[in-house]
Structure 1
Amino acid sequence: MNRNCLLSSLFGFALLGASLPVSSAFAETEAPVPSMRAPASFADLANRLLPSVVNVSVAAVLKPEQDDEKGPDASPPAGPQVPKGKAGSPLDKFLHDYTKRKAAPNRPPRRFQGLGSGFIIDPAGIIVTNNHVIEGADQVVVTLHDGTEMPAKIVGRDSQVDLAVLSVKPEHPLPAVPMGHSDAARIGDWALAIGNPFGLNGTVTAGIISSRGRNVERGLYDDYIQTDAAINKGNSGGPLFNMAGEVIGINTLIYGGAGGDSIGIGFAIPTDDARGIIEQLRRDGHVSRGWLGLRFQDVTFDMAQDLDFRDADGKVGHGAIVSQVEAHGPAAVAGLEIGDVIMQVEAKKVTGQTMPRIVASYPPGTKLGLVIWRKGAQKSLNITLGKSPVPADTLPSDTHQPDHAKEAIDMLGLEVSAIDSDMRTQYALSDDQRGVLVDHVDASGTAVLRGIEVGNVIVQVGQVQVNTPDALKEELNRVQGQKKNEVLLLVQDNDGLRWVPVPLKTNF
């Protein structure tokens, strides 16, 4: 098959569509089809970029108990732990999460080595990689594309976003690559990954940007670029390039097959998220993030409907709904309340997923302007970011005498009761805990579908505080009277406060 035939095969759908006979009227109104051409070769680009990508080798001493969980090519001890995802989630491996093996009894400590990738951002010898590549290492060596080895110093690292900055002392300026703007990358754009998979130095793979803004439930700052450019163990910390030769991502995670190998789904930290962190690491050796002093969730479509939350255009709104406010924290001082929906931060529209990154990009002490939605109206507030959480003072105890009677809430499939001293002891509730305690959950009810369990406390219905079973039932009846199919509950569980949309049962 010649080259023209190959291109026709690859892009036949678009070309065939353009060649089909059409009516003259249709032809006059149809927009022109843009030219679709694959790069003839990535060779020139790869040749230019390869010298800026390095191999990062680490060594550390493993204690016997750590050795139980590490293979010979595993990542450093004390590497980042991947939070458990939802049941059935395939996200269970970092690029350096290798096969476990059992150590022999009484084995003495031994050294181990691990491999990763990195890239040069300053000719003076500044290199970016992943934190999990170097965490726990007591020795780091960088190998350039030409084979030159140099000891590296860890300038700073940030485990929350999984970035680290290294420095070396070269005899001459090193070839550096520019940090591009990942926000300009579009789904479908070509992407080039360069790294050292399995220790194979200078491996180049190509693909496209498969998706943007991926949340893989790894932490607060998830905002990954997804690519199908092949990345494997050892690519950690390596660059993802655009066709201009700019770094638009730092390769960090993969969905792995049975052995944790690439199946064409890789994730990279966007450079527009990483740039400020890298600058702080270079300057200070650590990252200081702004702190709001609150907990929040993403406003789902169902939540927005339950709250009648709409934007200025009358469409279902988007934002971050506040579920908890730290006493005397920045949010409390600014006047934020539970149930407020934060819509904008410094004129940037936010959701529960994007707000942590946006807020964290500002240093402590920064004054930010917020736009919030509160019970049907928009309001502007100013907040000064704190540096670290302040101890929460004890709230005054609720002086209301609890009603000990249980109440069946058939429309949710629950039995609830007011909180008394015995229940506070039994369920380890604080003296200031307010709300209605869940005593029983019907397996055929709707609340069980949303994960509500015995011992949980229902604090609010919508944005109304409820402290007795009667108050809860009254609010539920009010919501049902509005012909709604769902109710939004603020629920306290072992992990804290969370908003839970629960379907209403209508045939009771």
Structure 2
Amino acid sequence: MALVLGFGLALAPATETQAFGAPESFADLADQISPSVVNITTSALIAGPADGMPMVPEGSPFEDFFDDFNNRGGNGPQRSEALGSGFVISEDGFIVTNNHVIEGADEITIEFFSGKKLPAKLIGTDPKTDIAVLKVEAGEPLPFVTFGNSDLMRVGDWVMAMGNPLGQGFSVSAGIVSARGRELSGSYDDYLQTDAAINRGNSGGPLFNMDGQVIGVNTAILSPTGGSIGIGFSMASNVVTKVVDQLKQFGETRRGWLGVRIQDVTPDVAEAMGLAEAAGALVTEVPEGPARDAGIASGDVITRFDGQPVGDAGDLTRRVADAPIGEAVPVIVQRDGRTETLAVTLGRREEAEASTLPASTPAPEAPREMETLGLTLAPLDADMRDRLGLDASTEGLMILNVDAASEAFTKGLREGDLITEAGQQKVVRLQDLEDMIAQAKAEGRQSILLLVRRGGDPRFVALSIN
């Protein structure tokens, strides 16, 4: 199934909401919010034929229209137009939409429900959440909508979407919240899923609760055809509002940076580490940065951040991003069966994006090998380091082969991966791994935790030993 991008949502002050039965009509709500929803047309000069135009399913009654529209201008440089949606969030003309709606445009035109059109200025964008903020000068106060608290939305609650589907102008659709906490591909994803009809052109438009507050920005659909099949995604307003506030204030985002690489604590990893529950964020690597300065180490499980529980790796990523830069925050970790509280002064993520090491290539065969856990292993030697571009100080056991029928293969281990720890202890020799497996069995463990590196990216993998 294809994931087709294009739609939107936003937030308002947190208010208590109640469950309501199906309304007899959405007309009053549509009348209330329509003046604040806008159509967005963008224009850009491109070198060849337009290829970013609105698309419709084959056989659609609009197919001929869009084919004619796309083919204007011959093969020379021409203007490409794209359509999307947005909504006004302040009477002085700030407008929220998707980044992909306006990306690359040199002209942005806003059309209001009244038919009035105004040019818009780009204030700032955030590709990581696909949010953009625009500004128009209307010369008069504009009707606007506020953000609601997306955390209060429950699966089954009524919602209403409004936007500019397939370039047909202002259109309303209604449905329910189908799921919460959906992740698509971004580090900060927190999408509401809805069955309210969302199509191309709805991108950047608002998803409303029944109080007329924006609780999401319509951003994407899941569809094999390019049209709505009732699986749409709106970025939750509690993510959007923080981004919008920073874009309005700074013209860019300013996210906190902890300086760790992390993964989820799965049940098998929890068992291998002797943890009571599969929760928190497991630290796989601590490069130079705030976390290392504060004493966080590989193998720590971060269970609380700034006073709030950490459910998984994505939860921690979002909490760190929202935390203040340059201020110390308490971080609670589990380490070697005990709990420690550390104070971490966060940096700014945009200034400290971690670099990656060269990708691994298959390692050559070595004379000393061992087969265990479905793996053929050999100690890392100078020739392997040269082939992989590794530092001379790098140590571990290289995977020469993985049995395709093994648990190791199922969990993603591959030839060329490097095992640097077993049972949270360094392994350099084959005997080191054998000793750690024997120790785990003696302690009654069902699995052993391996720290595996691929192209500089570490992750923990738990493999059964019985």
| Equivalent residue letter for 2:147 | M
In the other structure, the counterpart of 2:280 is 319
Choose from 440, 446, 463 the match for 2:424.
463
Choose from 227, 238, 246 the match for 1:280.
246
Q: Which structure has more RCO (C-alpha within 8 Å, separation ≥ 6)?
A: 2
CA RMSD of aligned residues (A): 2.5
Q: Which moved more, 1:300-309 or 1:241-250?
A: 300-309
Residues 241 and 249 in structure 1, CA contact (< 8 A), matched pair in contact too: yes
Change (3 A) 1:199 1:391: closer
Change (3 A) 1:109 1:35: closer
Secondary structure, counterpart of 2:245 in structure 1 = helix
* Structure 2: distance between partners of 1:249 and 1:491: 38
Secondary structure, counterpart of 2:176 in structure 1 = strand
Question: What are the superposed Cα offsets for residues 416-442 of structure 1, whole Å, 9 maximum, x if unpaired?
Answer: 111111111223323232221112222
- How far is 1:317 from its partner? 4.0
Matching of residue 120 in structure 1 with residue 88 in structure 2: yes
- How far is 1:171 from its partner? 2.6
* Structure 1: distance between partners of 2:52 and 2:84: 15
Q: How does 1:141-220 map to 2 (within 5 A)?
A: 141-216=109-184, 218-220=185-187
* Structure 2: distance between partners of 1:215 and 1:226: 10
Choose from 54, 57, 60 the match for 2:44.
60
In the other structure, the counterpart of 1:406 is 368
* Structure 2: distance between partners of 1:443 and 1:73: 44
* Structure 1: distance between partners of 2:342 and 2:193: 35
Secondary structure, counterpart of 1:72 in structure 2 = coil
Choose from 192, 195, 201 the match for 1:228.
195
| Equivalent residue letter for 2:187 | L
- How far is 1:444 from its partner? 2.9
* Structure 2: distance between partners of 1:58 and 1:226: 27
Change (3 A) 1:378 1:230: same
Question: What are the superposed Cα offsets for residues 94-140 of structure 1, whole Å, 9 maximum, x if unpaired?
Answer: xxxx99xx999x93322100011000000110100011111111110
Unaligned runs of 5+ in 1: 1-33, 75-97, 311-315, 395-403
* Structure 1: distance between partners of 2:385 and 2:35: 63
Identity of aligned residues (%): 41
- How far is 1:456 from its partner? 0.6
Question: What are the superposed Cα offsets for residues 476-502 of structure 1, whole Å, 9 maximum, x if unpaired?
Answer: 222233444333211101261111223
- How far is 1:362 from its partner? 2.2
| Equivalent residue letter for 1:450 | K
Change (3 A) 1:340 1:35: closer
Change (3 A) 1:419 1:222: same
| Equivalent residue letter for 2:171 | T
Matching of residue 332 in structure 1 with residue 289 in structure 2: no
- How far is 1:332 from its partner? 0.4
In the other structure, the counterpart of 1:313 is none
Change (3 A) 1:477 1:107: farther
- How far is 1:289 from its partner? 1.0
* Structure 1: distance between partners of 2:398 and 2:140: 68
* Structure 2: distance between partners of 1:139 and 1:198: 20
In the other structure, the counterpart of 1:73 is 54
Unaligned runs of 5+ in 2: 1-17, 56-65, 358-365
Matching of residue 44 in structure 1 with residue 25 in structure 2: no
Q: How does 1:414-493 map to 2 (within 5 A)?
A: 414-493=375-454
Residues 193 and 239 in structure 1, CA contact (< 8 A), matched pair in contact too: yes
In the other structure, the counterpart of 1:343 is 303
* Structure 1: distance between partners of 2:423 and 2:132: 43
- How far is 1:363 from its partner? 3.7
Secondary structure, counterpart of 2:436 in structure 1 = helix
- How far is 1:251 from its partner? 0.6
Secondary structure, counterpart of 1:356 in structure 2 = helix
Residues 290 and 362 in structure 1, CA contact (< 8 A), matched pair in contact too: yes
Question: What are the superposed Cα offsets for residues 257-293 of structure 1, whole Å, 9 maximum, x if unpaired?
Answer: 22x2111111111111111110110011000111111
| Equivalent residue letter for 1:55 | N
- How far is 1:37 from its partner? 3.0
* Structure 2: distance between partners of 1:35 and 1:332: 47
Matching of residue 270 in structure 1 with residue 228 in structure 2: no
Secondary structure, counterpart of 1:343 in structure 2 = strand
Residues 457 and 492 in structure 1, CA contact (< 8 A), matched pair in contact too: yes
Question: What are the superposed Cα offsets for residues 320-339 of structure 1, whole Å, 9 maximum, x if unpaired?
Answer: 00011112x10100000000
In the other structure, the counterpart of 1:290 is 256
Change (3 A) 1:168 1:207: same
- How far is 1:61 from its partner? 1.6
Secondary structure, counterpart of 2:231 in structure 1 = strand
In the other structure, the counterpart of 1:253 is 220
- How far is 1:161 from its partner? 0.9
* Structure 1: distance between partners of 2:165 and 2:368: 61
Residues 246 and 253 in structure 2, CA contact (< 8 A), matched pair in contact too: yes
* Structure 1: distance between partners of 2:128 and 2:445: 40
Secondary structure, counterpart of 2:326 in structure 1 = coil
Residues 54 and 200 in structure 2, CA contact (< 8 A), matched pair in contact too: no
Residues 436 and 466 in structure 1, CA contact (< 8 A), matched pair in contact too: yes
